[in-house]
Amino acid sequence: MKKRRLGSLGNWEAVSLVTFLFFSGLYFWSNNSLELSITPMGEDSEILREKEGLWQEEGNWWEGENEERDVGADGVDKDGPYLVSRVVDGDTIRVWIGVKEEVVRLIGVDTPESVAPGEPVECFGVEAKENLTGLLAGEVVYLAGDSSQDNRDRYGRLLRYVWLETGEMVNFKIISAGWGEEFTYKVPYQYQADFIGAERLAKIEQTGMWGCLTVN
C-alpha cells in the first residue's frame, strides 16, 4: 500500500514536471516571438518619433492639431509657426495651416493691387508685392487675429497680424517701408494708432512709393 502511494506520488511529480517544462518553454517561446515581432515596429516607431521631432523643429505647420502657441516679449498670443507658401499681393499671403493652404489678408494695411481679377496692375503694385516677397519668401510666420475684426473677410480670407520669427510685425513693416497705407475697415483695430504714425513718418521721409509721389 505504501509502495503504491509512493509510486503514484512519483508519477504525479513527473507529470507536474513535464507540465511545468512545457508551459515554461511555451512562455519563453512566446516572449521571444513577441519581441521579434515588435522589434521592427519599435524601430519604426523610433523613426516616426524622430520624424515628428523634425516636423516640430521645422514649424509643425502640417499638424494643425498640434500647432504651437507663442507669447513673445510683446505679450501677444500668436499661432504658429506656419510656412509661407506664396506671396499673393503686397498685403496678402498664403500659408500652410494644418494640411490646408489658407489665404491670409493682413489687417490694417492696404497696398496697390497687382493681381485683382479684371483690373490693371496699379502703380507700385509690383513693387509692393516684391517688398513683401523679400520679407516672407520661404519664411515661417506667426499669426494673430483681432477681436475687433472678423475672423475672415467677405472673400473667405483669414484676417491676421503677421509676425516674423525675429518678432517684427509684417503689417507694420509694410507701412514703415512705404509700400502700403494704413487701412481701417469699419471699426478701429488694435494697432491703428501705430500704423497711422508709421505711414505719416514714411511720407515725411519719402520712403518707398512716397518718394515717387507728391505728398500734401
CA 78: distance to chain centroid?
A: 11
| pLDDT tens digits, 138-149 | 899 999 999 999
Catalytic residue IDs:
105, 113, 157
Cβ neighbour number for residue 114 with a 10 Å cutoff = 20
**The residue to which cell 516684391 is assigned:** 130
Q: Is the pLDDT of residue 101 over 80?
A: yes
Cβ neighbours for 175, distance < 8 A, ≥ 6 positions apart = 109, 181, 182, 195, 198, 199, 202
pTM for this prediction: 0.66
Three cell numbers written together for 98: 494644418
Of residues 119 and 142, more confidence is placed in 142
| pLDDT tens digits, 50-84 | 333 333 333 333 334 445 666 666 778 999 999 99
Average pLDDT, the chain: 78
Going by C-alpha positions, the residue among 198, 87, 60 that lies closest to residue 142 is: 60
153 forms bridges with which residues in the sheet? none
Question: Tell me, what's the pLDDT at 144?
Answer: 97
Of residues 15 and 173, more confidence is placed in 173
